[in-house]
Amino acid sequence: MRIVLVSHYAVTNIGDKILTECLCKILSEKGHSVRMVDINGRIKINENDDEEIRIIKRQHSDHIRSNRNEFISHFQENLSDCDLLIFAGGAILDVLSEYTAEDINTIISIAREKNIPVAFNSVGFFGNEVDNEKGMIIRKALLSPNVKWISVRERKDDIAYLLNGEKEFSYCCDTAVWARELFGVDSSLVNQDNIIGINLINKFAFSYFGNSVFDVSETYFKIYSELTDLGFKCNFFINGPAVDHNYANSFARKYNIPSEMFLLDDNTRSGKAFLSFLSQFSLVISSRLHTSISCFSLKIPSLCLSWDRKMDEFYRNISRPYWLIAPNDVNNISIKVKNALAEQYNGVSFQSYKETTLFYINKMLDEMK
């Protein structure tokens, strides 16, 4: 089949690239022709693009994004020779931001006009309140007659509420759990020298912890200070977004942390490069879901500063809820780190959880025959 994968593929957050590339590899290995398209019409910037090409791509993306007719034409062209449209995963059930819910509805309408079946593969939610205008737009899109398959990675109650018994759905893990195998990253190279990676995310993700404004910078610095006092080497890193990069720089200045502690890469890093990068760490303090998922794939223990229910659910599913850290309570961080380093994934099977992805991808494809 000729398959188009739609996701937040062209954003600078590495997680969306990883999950899309993983699904692309799985489908390609099954003999399908696959093309990846960004859900909001952005054009992907590659690491070998020079600045002139990057400017052109940004201008083209802005043109598509700002003109609805251009957006429609962009997807009509990309779906012109398509046998199956798959929303590849990630937090695309977006009930919070301005555009994505309407974009999903528009893309499905274009596919319906062309008699193209649509599937949602291991998708997640962005925003917690599904009973709003954008939630109802997503409900309308999901209930479109050409949507033949829905699988979600989180919040079964919310998707059940949206579907209201009018369509079935499946529950499976994120496709990125297979990243190590699909990208061919050698897990035997995982570092054993007690180097800890601290994954920074911009402070706005933690802006409202509970009912009050929360400054995560103090938490990050407390973690860094306590672990370095214990003799661990720590390095800070991000998942790509410019807002995270800017926050990391301001954090370094605020606490006068040496620049060599920050391993901040260009935001065009590939999925394979990101996994290879993670393999230098013995343990990671994660602040983004796909950092945790990538570490899981590599069998690197990852404690997680949880700011969203999707993170809590992932760690419950891998039987590690005790690796979650409340951002306002890191007093026992050294104990948690030592326990996680001692435990790792030894003696514990996590293969069955991973297998849910492949099982439901195969079932999804069978439904489309």
CA distance 313 to 294: 16
Q: Which of 287-306 are b and which e, b meaning 16 or more Cβ less than 10 Å from the residue's Cβ? A: bbbbbbbbbbbbebbbbbbb
Contacts of 34 (CB under 8 A, 6+ apart): 3, 4, 5, 24, 27, 28
Position 209 scores a pLDDT of 56
Is the CB of residue 138 less than 8 Å from the CB of residue 93? yes
Is the CB of residue 204 less than 8 Å from the CB of residue 52? no
* Alpha helices (runs of H) in the chain, residue ranges in sequence order: 14-29, 51-66, 68-78, 100-113, 133-142, 156-163, 179-183, 216-229, 242-255, 271-278, 289-298, 309-317, 333-343, 351-367
CA distance 252 to 201: 13
Q: Is 313 helix (H, G, I), strand (E, B) or coil?
A: helix
pLDDT tens for the chain, 369 residues: list them. Answer: 999 999 998 887 899 999 999 999 999 999 999 999 999 888 777 777 777 777 777 777 777 877 888 889 889 999 999 999 999 999 999 998 878 999 999 999 999 999 999 999 999 998 888 989 999 999 999 999 999 999 999 999 999 999 999 999 999 999 999 999 999 987 666 666 789 999 999 888 877 555 566 788 999 999 999 999 999 999 999 998 888 999 999 999 999 999 889 988 755 578 888 999 999 999 999 999 999 999 999 999 999 999 888 999 999 999 899 999 988 888 889 999 999 998 867 555 667 788 889 999 999 999 887
| Residue in the block written with tokens 């951002």 | 327
Query: How many residues in total does the chain contain?
Result: 369
pTM of the model: 0.92
Q: In this structure, what token pair is assigned to residue 347?
A: 């003696």
In the chain the first and final C-alpha atoms are separated, in Å, by 10
